[in-house]
Amino acid sequence: MASLASHPLPCRAATTAAPASRSGRPAPRLLGPPPPASPLLSSASARFPRPPCNAARWRRRDAVRVCSQAGAAGPAPLSKTLSDLKDSCWRFLRPHTIRGTALGSIALVARALIENPQLINWWLVFKAFYGLVALICGNGYIVGINQIYDIRIDKVNKPYLPIAAGDLSVQTAWLLVVLFAAAGFSIVVTNFGPFITSLYCLGLFLGTIYSVPPFRLKRYPVAAFLIIATVRGFLLNFGVYYATRAALGLTFQWSSPVAFITCFVTLFALVIAITKDLPDVEGDRKYQISTLATKLGVRNIAFLGSGLLIANYIAAIAVAFLMPQAFRRTVMVPVHAALAVGIIFQTWVLEQAKYTKDAISQYYRFIWNLFYAEYIFFPLI
């Protein structure tokens, strides 16, 4: 386009006949339209030469064609914009944490209903759904506010997260976390009474002081571990089971399986809290975030996490033998033995891979898969 516009050609110059050379061939023109931009246009021009006086018109048509092609690659359609926003919001929610929250709440509700089958009614399904939505909203608030205050670190450790990647603005992120907190609180306060509401608010408060200055307790390993274990372990399991029994018209009473899963998952959440920093060592060191992984090294923390999980599984097997009246030994023993073998094998794979970043991420994902598996099997124990 620019080259065409930079060579204006007078129309009358092209009308002058070119004299023949001694060989009888016409001499080349000294003036004329510039050569076409592509071989395709060149061949077309050779067969159908453009009228010289219409050179300006052809240039205008070329300009329109180029502009049309540029416009086709311009603003994205609305459907693509909405799809990108949906993808950013989904990544903002950290799907692996939502799966843990959803599986935990469904497993605890199922257990309460299995223990009291005569009290089941369809109204409870809707109430359980409201509770699940409230828990997901609370989860979204906690992981969202953590991303807002971790943008610089996430650009090193987790550049795929939507704020760090530039796919979601900070203003939009703030709007989302406020909506999550308000929606979750509204659902709980209108459906589950003051005690569950206070537990819910406690979870939001702990998630806030974990990430937000001046508290930012995630800088201190012990405080960070306790917060994660309390929210994902005790509060989730106790709160869901309490709310389900209340909805059934029953007073709260611990059952052996619920006491087991609460203790088991609280220790498991502690392992998640310890190992979650393994893929983030580079960014944590850069921004002086003190974690056990930065202090003790990736290998030592991986072995510590695996060791705690193996101890957890051994304890689960022992409980099945010590309390045969409360647990199905045929489920508890083989399932937890298989999961223990799985974490041993995954630790060996990590060792063989020399603790590369990809291997560490795979190891951490496997721990979450073990977490999901425990809740999947829980109603059957």
- The pLDDT tens digits of the residues spanning 333-377 come to 999 999 999 999 999 999 999 999 899 999 999 999 999 999 999
The whole-number average pLDDT for the span 142-157 is 92
Is the confidence at residue 262, as pLDDT, over 80?
Answer: yes
What's CA 59's distance to the chain center, in Å? 50
DSSP 218-281: GGSHHHHHHHHIIIIIIIHHHHHHHHHHHHTT------HHHHHHHHHHHHHHHHHHHHTTGGGH
Q: Spell out the domain ranges in the chain.
A: 92-253, 254-380
The tens digit of pLDDT for each residue in 307-326 reads 999 999 999 999 999 999 99
Mean predicted confidence (pLDDT) in 93-104 = 93
Task: Return the pLDDT at 156.
Answer: 85
The alpha carbon of 335 is separated from its chain's Cα centroid by a whole number of angstroms, namely 29
Q: Which helix (H) or strand (E) holds 341?
A: helix 329-352
Per-residue pLDDT reduced to its tens digit, 223-238: 998 999 999 999 999 9
In whole numbers, what is the pLDDT of the chain averaged over residues?
83
Contact 288, 217 (CB under 8 A): no
The span from the first CA to the last CA of the chain, in angstroms, equals 74
CATH of 254-380 among 1.20.120, 1.10.357, 1.10.3470, 2.50.20: 1.20.120
Q: Which two tokens stand for residue 236?
A: 């989730």
Residue 10 has pLDDT above 90, yes or no: no
Q: Which one of 3-17, 25-39, 175-189 scores highest in mean pLDDT?
A: 175-189
Q: Are 378 and 261 in contact (CB under 8 A)?
A: yes
Which has the higher per-residue pLDDT, 286 or 87?
Answer: 87
Alpha-carbon gap, residue 75 to 133, rounded angstroms: 35
Q: CATH top-level class for 92-253? A: mainly alpha
d(CA 219, CA 248): 42
Residue 184: pLDDT above 60? Answer: yes
Given this model, what pLDDT does residue 295 score?
Answer: 87
CA 210 to chain centre: 19
> What was the pLDDT predicted at 61?
52
Give the orientation angle of helix 122-148 with respect to helix 193-211, to 10 degrees.
20
User: Looking at the predicted structure, is the pLDDT value of residue 67 above 80?
Assistant: no
Nearest 5°: phi and psi at 238? -65, -45
Q: Does residue 87 register a pLDDT over 50?
A: yes
230 contacts 206 by C-beta, under 8 angstroms: yes
